[in-house]
Amino acid sequence: MPKAVWNGAVLAESETHEVVEGNVYFPPEALNRDYFKDSDKHTYCGWKGEASYYNVEVDGELNADAAWYYPDPLEAAANIKDHIAFWRGVEVS
């Protein structure tokens, strides 16, 4: 079962997930919301659409923009709507 861990905390864990371009996308209900704060960052992908980001904070340590998701993806990426992926040192195994 895939899980995302940073700074010793399990950020997300789920038997169901999607893999796109080598990234595991966790369903929104898999997140431990205690560690997530909205970010102002947005990026755009030509086939997925606009991504929004979360900052991750564990034990007072901030990992800025460490998680992203597509709240309103383009049709080709509809399967990852609201699913969350990670980078910036978050270990997904």
Domain range list for the chain: 3-92
Confidence (pLDDT) at 1:
92
Give Cα separations from 27 to 1, 31, 60, 61, 70 (angstroms): 13, 8, 25, 24, 11
3-92 has CATH 2.170.150.40 classification: yes
Find the mean pLDDT for residues 66-72. 98
pTM of the model: 0.96
Q: What CA–CA distance (Å, rounded) separates 64 from 58?
A: 11
Confidence of residue 80 (pLDDT cuts 50, 70, 90): very high
